[in-house]
Amino acid sequence: MDGFVEAALRLHGHLIRRHWTGRALIGPDPGVRFNYRIGRFVKSYVAGVTWRDDLYYLQAQAYWILANWALFDRTGDEQYAGIATACAEEMVARQRDDGAWDYPNPEWARRVATVEGTWGSLGLLETYRRTEDPTLLAAAIRWHEFLQRDIGFQREGDTIAVNYFARRPSTRVPNNSTLVLLFLAALAEITEDRRYAESCAGLIAFLRSAQTARGELPYSVPAVAGGPGRTHFQCFQYNAFQCLDLIWYHTLTGDERVRPLIGGVLRFLSGGIAADGHAWYDCANGHRTVSYHTAALAAAFTEAQRLGITDYLDLARRAYAYLLRLQRPDGSLIHSQRDYRLLRDQRSYPRYLAMILYHLLLGAKLAPSSLGKEAAHEEVR
């Protein structure tokens, strides 16, 4: 069996045992603010305490759905189709009447995040494509209506950028706009209604205006009304996810306007892999390592093959080899190392493990698997 698939199945087994309820993927999350900076390390190091911090993230459900459909395609085993379908049905059951979902993290209670609802809807669309269950498509359309009505867009000249939160216009974050670009294209493709894609040209224009000379998409740019932006924040992982969004958008649409964007981001990402294979945390921090960051870069380098770009496959192999060495006997992976240069976060976070699971399955396209069993059991220090 391919080493990537074997590692993915072991991780899938961990998620089933630890976080799958039969309807949803539930568990702790690093969160924001105090918990991200300090609290998660206390919880990681204090063994034997049951922390009541399980959360339901739509992003976790969507990656879980995509991974299970990918496993179904590879194995033909109906259990994976059943898991994906049950997860999508639970998403519909949790959707509010206005088309949104509540944000799970208590620090951001009563907010609605663009990324959460959009990722959830991508999971719904993929399951609708497989099952033709009309309730799934209807739920994704309700989210689209909320996106247009309550989240909204900032327009400047021919550029369009989606807002980060509903009814809270602030800095324009390219990561949100690449994801919405993909969602609008997917909705237009699956409904055969091109009206859903009307904003795509403006979103691409915004991304092209934001990209720097070195190919980086900054974390945020100032709002149309003014205010500060922020160039660097976890630079390489954000750009990797944006690269994947753009590659998948191109796969759906064949829109050549995004090819220069993708090429620039890939060049930027090529400077974000250390000699041992881990992804740099940001442009100024090469010591801190976060496992899902490395997985995202490896996947972006691999998926570039969709556009005939094979220049980065050696970097993909290096990153995946590092990732496989992180896998523990129970199938999970350590979340982060060398935080503040001396701390580790060893908790099991389903949102990020589901991302890694899907990205491992994308890595199977890199066969042959010289990265297999030996790498999977060697401890990274």
Instruction: Give me the torsion for CA of 57, 61, 64, 70, rounded to 10°.
Output: -140
Q: How far is CA 20 from CA 17, 102, 329, in A?
A: 7, 20, 19
Say whether pLDDT at 378 is over 70: no
pLDDT band at 51 (very low <50, low <70, confident <90, very high): confident
pLDDT tens digit sequence for 320-356: 999 999 999 999 999 999 988 899 998 999 999 999 9
Least reliable range by pLDDT among 42-51, 78-87, 300-309, 353-362: 42-51
**Prior bond of 218 cis (ω within 30°):** no
pLDDT for residue 94 is more than 70: yes
Amino acid at 45: Y
Torsion over CA of 32, 34, 39 and 40, rounded to 10 degrees? 20
pLDDT of the residue at 370: 43
CA distance 147 to 34: 29
**pTM for the full model?**
0.94
Contact 68, 20 (CB under 8 A): no
Taking the domains of the chain in order of start, what are their residue ranges?
3-376
DSSP letter, residue 277: S
CATH 1.10.3720.10 fits 3-376, yes or no: no
> Which tens digit of pLDDT belongs to each residue from 273-312?
999 999 999 999 999 999 999 999 999 999 999 999 999 9
Q: Across residues 99-128, what is the average pLDDT?
A: 95
Q: Does residue 25 carry a pLDDT above 90?
A: yes
pLDDT of residue 367: 53
The DSSP string of 110-131 is: T--BHHHHHHHHHHHHHHHHHH
Rounded average pLDDT over 180-191: 98
Whole-angstrom Cα distance, residue 114 to residue 151? Answer: 7
Is the pLDDT higher at 144 or at 53? 144
Tell me: the pLDDT tens digits for 233-266?
999 999 999 999 999 999 999 999 999 999 999 9
**pLDDT score for 47:** 72
Cβ atoms 123, 91 nearer than 8 A:
yes
Average pLDDT in the chain: 93
Nearest to 336 by CA among 376, 298, 281: 281
Range 161-179 average pLDDT: 97
